[in-house]
Structures are given as C-alpha cells and as structure tokens.
Amino acid sequence: MTHNSQDLTPDRTIDVKVVLADHAQIAGGKLFISGAGWTDMTGAVPFALAMMFEVPREQTGKEHTFAVDLIDADGKPAMMPTPQGMQPWHFEGTLQIDAEEGAPPAASFVSPFVIKQGPTPLAPASYEWRWQVDGETRENWRLPFRVHAAQQ
C-alpha cells in the first residue's frame, strides 16, 4: 500500500504507529485488530502490539532494525520471569520493503507487524512500551498503559 506525502524532505525517515489490542494478526498484507485502543489491563491477560511501519520510498530496498522495550514507572526496563531468571522484556526485529515499480518519489509504503504476548505477570503499576527504529527513538514512539490488580 502506498501513501503520498505533501511535505517531502530529502531525508524522510520511517515512522511507526502502535496500538494495544486484545488480538491482532496479519493476513493478505493487512492488519486485522480486535479489542484495540485500551490503556488499562487487569491481571495477567494475553494481548497484542499491533504496529504499522511507514517507510518512505528513499528508505526502501534496505534492511531496517527495530526494537521494542517495556519500561516501568521508574524509567527502567520492566523485568519478567523467564526460564533463565528475571530478564527485561525486549524484542528486536528487522523489516525490509521494496518500492513498487513505478511508484512516485513521494510514495511511502506501509508494513504491518504484530507481537502477540501471552498472559504477562506484571505487577500493578504504570508502564510504557518504547520503540526504536534504526537506533532512533521519538517521543510519539511511546505507548503508556496501566496494570491493575486482578480481583480475587
């Protein structure tokens, strides 16, 4: 899918949009999301991070790296229990989009990506998802949310 930009600069960069959802999946190059847009969760529930990377034409044809980190209210990596002990929640990936033949110079291309997370035992508190693309981060690449204690 292409999008045209009215304000072109020679060094446009990749952008990413993200929502928290109950479920997300990619089919036929499209992102399907259900139960999206929430910022509060109660207890350990499964969820998905539904992402859309927008890649300007001049950034196509090469591999880009991205990382997602879960940060606690103190600005430190949120620690999660793993078989190897407590570890920070961290995900790294790559993406590469090739420009469609004949696409105008102003075009950008959208690539969906989903991270599915099973029930996650987070302590009741405020957290934030943070993204980096090619080592760059932006203020709007943060997604705050809160975890509330499960009712017993």
List pLDDT tens digits, range 3-56.
Answer: 444 444 457 889 999 999 999 999 999 999 999 989 999 988 899 999 999 999
As a whole number of angstroms, the distance between CA 48 and CA 116 comes to 4
DSSP 98: P
Task: Give how many domains the chain has, as a whole number.
Answer: 1
Strand partners, 110: 54
Note the pTM of the prediction, 2 decimals: 0.84
As a whole number of angstroms, the distance between CA 132 and CA 66 comes to 5
List pLDDT tens digits, range 101-133.
Answer: 888 888 899 999 999 999 988 899 999 999 999
Report the CATH number at residue 37: 2.60.40.2550
Structural domain including 106 reads 2-6+14-148
DSSP character string of 108-148: EEEEEEEEEE----PPSEEEEEEEEETTB--TTSEEEEEEE
